[in-house]
Amino acid sequence: MAVGESSSPGSSAETQNPNPDSNQDTRPHSSDSAAPPQLPAAEADGAIEMLARRVQETLSIGTRHRFWETQPVGQFKDLGDASLPEGPIEAPTPLSDVKPEPYNLPSQYEWTTCDMDDDQTCGEVYSLLTNNYVEDDENMFRFNYSKEFLRWALHPPGYYKAWHIGVRVKASKKLVAFITGVPARIRVRDAIIRMAEINFLCVHKKLRSKRLAPVMIKEVTRRVHLENIWQAAYTAGVILPTPITTCRYWHRSLNPKKLIDVGFSRLGARMTMSRTIRLYKLPESTVTPGFRKMELRDVPAVTRLLRQYLSQFVVAPDFDESDVEHWLLPLENVMDSYLVESPETHEITDFCSFYTLPSSILNNQNYTVLKAAYSYYTVSMKTPLLQLMNDALIVAKQKDYDVFNALDVMYNESFLKELKFGPGDGQLHYYLYNYRIRNALKPSELGLVLL
C-alpha cells in the first residue's frame, strides 16, 4: 500500500523517502525560514495539478516514478480527466489470488514480524528509527519516537501483528529495515472504507542503494490484501502520483531561545533575543472555564463531539468509542487531550489534543532533545477555536515543550497567524492507494491527521 510518513524533525513534515525510484535520503527543514507564499483558498484546487505537471516536465522519462506508475494510484497523466469515476481504481481480487508467500528479498536478508510487545524487538525498532529515520537537510535534527509512542501508534483496536514488518540480515539477525500498517476506517465523502494507514518506512542508511523499499511496500500491500483490505492512506514529503491534497506544517515557538540556539529557527530581522522571548510569552494559566484533562469517563461524549465535527470534511476518520479511547485518552509523554466541560450544565462542549514527538538534536554541545507537540484533533463548538488553541499552547508550555506544530488542515488556518505560528518550509502530501478523488482537496477539506 505505499508508504506513510509523518512530520519532519526540523520543522516541516517529511519522513524516510517513500519514492522507491530514488535512493535519495530525506530532508526535513528548519523552521521560520523563507517559505513559499501560501495559496489563497480559491487557487488551491489547481495548485497540485500545476505543481505535478511542472515536476513531470522537469523529469526525464527514465527518472519518472517507475514504481508508482505500476500501482493503482492516481496518475499524473489522468489529471483533469472528468470521465474517470471517483472511488476504487481496481476492484478487489479473490483472496485465493493473493500471493500466499512473501516477496523475495536479496539473498542475504530475511523477513521478520516485529512483536512490539517484546522489549528487545521494540528496542531494536526504536534504535533503527532513532539512527536512520527522518533527518533534516543540514543533519541537525532526527525524529526520536519513544518506545511508548511506537507501541501506541502500532497497537490500535484490531491491529495486525503481521503488518509490523522488518528485514533482518540473515547472518547477524540485525534489523535493517521496517515498515508498518495499522487498520483504520476512513470516510471519503459518504463512503466509509476499511483502509490501512502505512507508516515508518525506514531502511538503514548503509542499505539505501539496495532498493529494499519497493519490495517492502509490495510486501505490506500483500499482507493488507490478505485481510481483504484494498485501500490505504499515507503521507510523504515528496511528490508522488498523485496527492489528494498538500498541507504545510506551521510552528509556534514556546521556548524561542532554545529553538534559535539549536538552529531550528532564526532571530528575526531587527529582533533581539529579549524582544523575541517577550513576543512568544504566554499566560501562566488557561483562560477557558471548565478546561480540564480528558478522562476515561469522557470517551462517549468526546466520540459524539468528534464524529459530529469531522462529518464536515471530505476525508476524515470514522472513529468509534474504542478508537477514541485508544487514540485520544491521555498517555504520559505520548498523547495529551483536554476538553471543556461547561461549569453550569457539565456538558462536554469542546476538545483539543496533541501528541509528543521529540527530535534528537545532532552535533550540539548544549542540547540533545527538541521537545515538540503536534496538534492532533481539535473540536471547537462553544469555545472559539482561537481561545481553545491558545489554552493548548499554554498547557504545552507548562509541560516544557519547545515548539507546537500544526498542519493547516480542518479550520486550523483560522488561528495560525493570530497565535504567532510561522510557516515551515516543507510540505506534506496526502495520498490514497487504490482510491481516486477526482479533484484535489483544499487542506481545509481534510479532517485526517496521520502520525
CATH code of the domain containing 338: 3.40.630.170
- Domain termination residue (choose one: 226, 246, 266): 246
The verdict on residue 215 lying in a domain is yes
- Provide the CATH number for the domain around residue 109: 3.40.630.30
Query: Are 127 and 146 part of one and the same domain?
Result: yes
* Contact residues for 100 (Cβ-Cβ < 8 A; gap 6+): none
Catalytic residue among 240, 254, 419, 451: 451
* Contact residues for 197 (Cβ-Cβ < 8 A; gap 6+): 4, 181, 182, 183, 184, 232, 233, 234, 450
The verdict on residue 275 lying in a domain is yes
The verdict on residue 224 lying in a domain is yes
Share of the chain above pLDDT 70, in %: 85
Query: Are 187 and 276 part of one and the same domain?
Result: no
- Check residue 431 and report its DSSP letter: E
Query: Are 242 and 262 part of one and the same domain?
Result: no
- Domain termination residue (choose one: 246, 262, 283): 246
Q: Is the dihedral of CA 279, 282, 287, 288 positive or negative?
A: positive
Domain region containing 368: 247-430+438-445
Query: Are 136 and 241 part of one and the same domain?
Result: yes
The verdict on residue 1 lying in a domain is no
pLDDT at residue 228 in the model: 97
The verdict on residue 15 lying in a domain is no
* Contact residues for 344 (Cβ-Cβ < 8 A; gap 6+): none
Q: How far apart are CA 265 and CA 136, in angstroms?
A: 13
The verdict on residue 368 lying in a domain is yes
In this prediction, the residues of the chain whose per-residue pLDDT falls under 50 are: 1-7, 11-18, 21-45, 55-63
Query: Are 158 and 213 part of one and the same domain?
Result: yes
Q: Could you give the count of Cα atoms lying within 13 Å of 253 in the half-sphere of its Cβ?
A: 26
Query: Are 232 and 297 part of one and the same domain?
Result: no
pLDDT at residue 32 in the model: 37
Q: How far apart are CA 193 and CA 185, in angstroms?
A: 6
The verdict on residue 367 lying in a domain is yes
| DSSP per-residue letters across 254-293 | SSHHHHHHTTSS-PPTT--HHHHHHHT---SS--STTEEE
- Domain termination residue (choose one: 246, 265, 287): 246
Q: How far apart are CA 89 and CA 111, in angstroms?
A: 29
Q: Are 336 and 395 in contact (CB under 8 A)?
A: yes
pLDDT at residue 18 in the model: 47
pLDDT digits 0-9 by tens, 339-363: 999 999 999 999 999 999 999 999 8
Query: Are 175 and 61 part of one and the same domain?
Result: yes
The C-alpha cell that represents 152 in the structure block: 501506541
Length of the chain as a residue count: 451
Query: Are 172 and 296 part of one and the same domain?
Result: no
Q: Are 396 and 199 in contact (CB under 8 A)?
A: no
Domain count, the chain: 2
Cβ count within 10 A of residue 101? 6
Query: Are 262 and 342 part of one and the same domain?
Result: yes
Query: Are 220 and 281 part of one and the same domain?
Result: no
The verdict on residue 106 lying in a domain is yes
Burial 158-177 (b: 16+ CB within 10 A, else e): ebbeebbbbbbeeeeeebbb
Helix segments in 236-384, DSSP class H: 256-261, 273-279, 299-310, 321-328
Query: Are 110 and 148 part of one and the same domain?
Result: yes
pLDDT at residue 449 in the model: 97
Query: Are 324 and 412 part of one and the same domain?
Result: yes
pLDDT at residue 94 in the model: 94
pLDDT at residue 438 in the model: 86
pLDDT at residue 46 in the model: 58
451 classed as catalytic: yes
What are the angstrom distances between the C-alpha of 385 and each of 23, 223, 350, 401?
Answer: 42, 41, 9, 21
pLDDT at residue 238 in the model: 87
